[in-house]
């Protein structure tokens, strides 16, 4: 799986966000062993220190835990995963409303458009 990195934001932060999404989408399921720093750094084409910083953020967020002998594992704490899912959904929703505002729509109009699209898809 390819990492999509942009120069406008810190790379370690982008890596952390993309790894979080991989956890939420099941690429790295709860309780599974997480790839090594070197493997992930090689896959992303970044320095291992940069990847280490991204993984440290995942640990801070409670998404992975480190065991000295077993490496990193993905959390099985559903509350942590649900909180992340809600936070990312909120950010996506806010981006949607922000982009619609740039196009000249009010929040109510944007919400109506989203509701109409939902009805059309069902």
Predicted pLDDT of residue 70: 84
- Which helix or strand (DSSP H or E) is residue 66 part of? strand 64-67
Q: What is the total count of domains within the chain?
A: 2
Six token digits for residue 45: 């084409």
In a domain? residue 22: yes
Predicted pLDDT of residue 94: 95
Mean pLDDT, the chain, integer: 93
Express each pLDDT in 5-37 by its tens digit.
877 889 999 999 999 999 999 999 999 999 999
| pTM given for the model | 0.79
Distance, C-alpha 8 to centroid of its chain: 17
Predicted pLDDT of residue 75: 97
Give residue 88's domain range: 79-121
Is 47 in the same domain as 72?
yes
Q: What is the DSSP string of 88-102?
A: HHHHHHHHHHHHHHH
In a domain? residue 3: no
């Amino acid at each position: 799986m390819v990492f999509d990195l942009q120069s406008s934001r810190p790379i370690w932060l982008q890596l952390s966000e993309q790894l979080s999404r991989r956890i939420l989408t099941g690429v790295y399921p709860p309780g599974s062993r997480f790839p090594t720093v070197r493997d992930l750094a090689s896959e992303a084409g970044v320095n291992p220190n940069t990847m280490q910083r991204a993984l440290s953020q995942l640990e801070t967020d409670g998404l992975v835990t480190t065991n000295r002998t077993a490496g990193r594992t993905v959390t099985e704490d559903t509350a942590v995963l649900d909180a992340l899912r809600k936070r990312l959904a909120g950010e996506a929703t806010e981006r949607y409303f922000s982009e619609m505002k740039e196009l000249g729509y009010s929040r109510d109009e944007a919400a109506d458009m989203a509701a109409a699209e939902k009805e059309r898809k069902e």
